[in-house]
Every structure is written in C-alpha cells, then in structure tokens.
C-alpha cells in the first residue's frame, strides 16, 4: 500500500489539480476546469492512506452512490490511471465521450439523422430540427413510431 506522502506526490504530478487542506489532516484535490459542477477529483485523502477518487463518469470502476472509489489499496500505476481518467472524464461533454450520429430511413426512402449533442438527442431532417429528446431511448421510440428504422 502506498503511504500518504507517496499518494500526495503522485497526485501532485497532475498540475491541473489544486490541493486543498480540509479537516482532520485530510486533503482534497480540485479540478477547477471541470465542465461539470463536480470539481473534487480526490476527496478526503487521509494520513492513514484512505481516500477517494471521483469516478462517477467512468464505467470501469465500482463507484459508490456518490461516484467515489476508495483508493486505499491502489498501486502507483492504478492511482495514476484513475486520477488521469477522472480528470479526462470531467474535461469532455457526454457528446464527446459517447458520440451518436445515426441515419434512420423509412419505407419511402426518406431519411432522418439522430445526433447526440450537449443538451440531449436531436433528430434532424437535413438542417431542420424535427425533435429534441432527453435520452437515446426517447429519440429512437419517436423515430420508430414515425416508421423509421436505423440503417
């Protein structure tokens, strides 16, 4: 297990993070350039080696309900990886992380395009907006109800 000092040294390598002292000798590291309300990357790093990294936007980690992963037993490589992925996950929008651009066609060979954009999923006929939806499922249901199939 890495010591408290070793963990701090590794995390301080990420120059985009700001170190903040909190209660009981714990330290947080903030990412002020986050595109989200979430700014805490490392939360309550404690002198006993316990601490958390925000992984709520990363699929590969078993995060708690707050999106936090305990890093107490992480190796040097694991710690570097999760901190880098956490920063990257807060540096790009959902549309950049998981882009969607699909063509849908009906029996009359008319086509519509489904795109993920920052504020949701949008259906276009050429340059004209046909509909805006909060989720992919809502947009796909709309297209299917209108007689379109993904090609």
pLDDT, one tens digit per residue, over 35-86 is 888 999 999 999 998 999 999 888 788 899 999 999 999 999 999 999 999 9
To 5 degrees, how large is the angle CA 56–CA 118–CA 61? 15
Give the long-range contacts of residues 109-113, CB within 8 A, separation 24 or more: 111/151, 112/143, 112/146, 112/148
Q: Which residues pair with 45 in a beta bridge?
A: 27
Q: State the pairing for strand pair 52-54/68-70.
A: antiparallel
Whether the CB-CB separation of 26 and 20 falls below 8 Å is answered with no
pLDDT, one tens digit per residue, over 19-43 is 999 999 999 999 999 988 899 999 9
Token look-up 């107490």 returns 72
Q: What is the secondary structure of 49-82 as a DSSP string?
A: S--EEE-TT-TTS---TTSEEE-TT--HHHHHHH
pLDDT, one tens digit per residue, over 92-147 is 877 777 789 999 999 999 999 999 987 789 999 999 999 999 889 999 999 999 99
């Amino acid at each position: 297990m890495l010591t408290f000092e070793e963990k701090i040294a590794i995390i301080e390598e990420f120059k985009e993070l700001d170190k903040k002292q909190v209660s009981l000798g714990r330290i947080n590291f903030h990412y002020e350039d986050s595109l989200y309300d979430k700014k805490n990357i490392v939360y309550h790093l404690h002198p006993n080696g316990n601490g958390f990294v925000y992984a709520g936007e990363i699929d590969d980690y078993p995060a708690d309900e707050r999106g936090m992963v305990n890093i107490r037993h992480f190796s040097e490589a694991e710690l570097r990886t999760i901190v880098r992925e956490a920063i990257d996950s807060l540096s790009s929008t959902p549309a950049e992380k998981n882009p969607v651009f699909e063509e849908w066609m009906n029996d009359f060979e008319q086509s519509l395009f489904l795109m993920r954009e920052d504020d949701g999923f949008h259906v276009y006929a050429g340059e004209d907006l046909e509909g805006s939806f909060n989720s992919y499922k809502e947009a796909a249901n709309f297209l299917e109800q209108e007689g379109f199939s993904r090609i």
